[in-house]
Amino acid sequence: MRFLIDNNLSPLLAERLKAAGHDALHVRDVGLQAATDSVVLERARTDDRVLISADTDFGSLLARSHAMRPSILLIRRLTGRRAADQFAIIQANLVSVADDLAMGAVVVLGDYRVRVRRLPLPG
């Protein structure tokens, strides 16, 4: 799967995803570390990447635009919030949400639950 990791998450998450066989970039890799959320979202859409973030603003941007892409994997309240913990939760749930992400969705991963909202979101 192709991922773009937002600036509020560690570049180490991208490295772990790459080591697991995914095509993963951190926004720093593409010079977007200071970019607005809109620019990051558009880059994910243009590059056909799932955006991984801890920023709930991306869902609002998608709702306002009624967009069908990009999918977002939103990481919420994960214990420790270390890249290793985030990677483990993503890997543990990726198979069950892969079809949703491919079709266009916001997937919220928390410590104890997974929530999926298909795109477009109501605005």
Beta bridge partners of 106: 72, 117
pTM above the 0.85 mark?
Answer: yes
Beta bridge partners of 114: 109
Residues 6+ apart with CB under 8 A from 10: 82, 83, 86
Query: What digits encode the pLDDT tens for the residues 66-76?
Result: 999 999 999 98
Instruction: Say how far apart CA 37 and CA 73 lie, in whole Å.
Output: 15
Query: What digits encode the pLDDT tens for the residues 49-96?
Result: 999 999 999 999 999 999 999 999 999 876 567 899 899 999 999 999
Q: What pLDDT, on the 0 to 100 scale, is given for residue 81?
A: 77
* Architecture of the domain defined by 2-118: 3-Layer(aba) Sandwich (3.40)
Q: What pLDDT, on the 0 to 100 scale, is given for residue 73?
A: 97
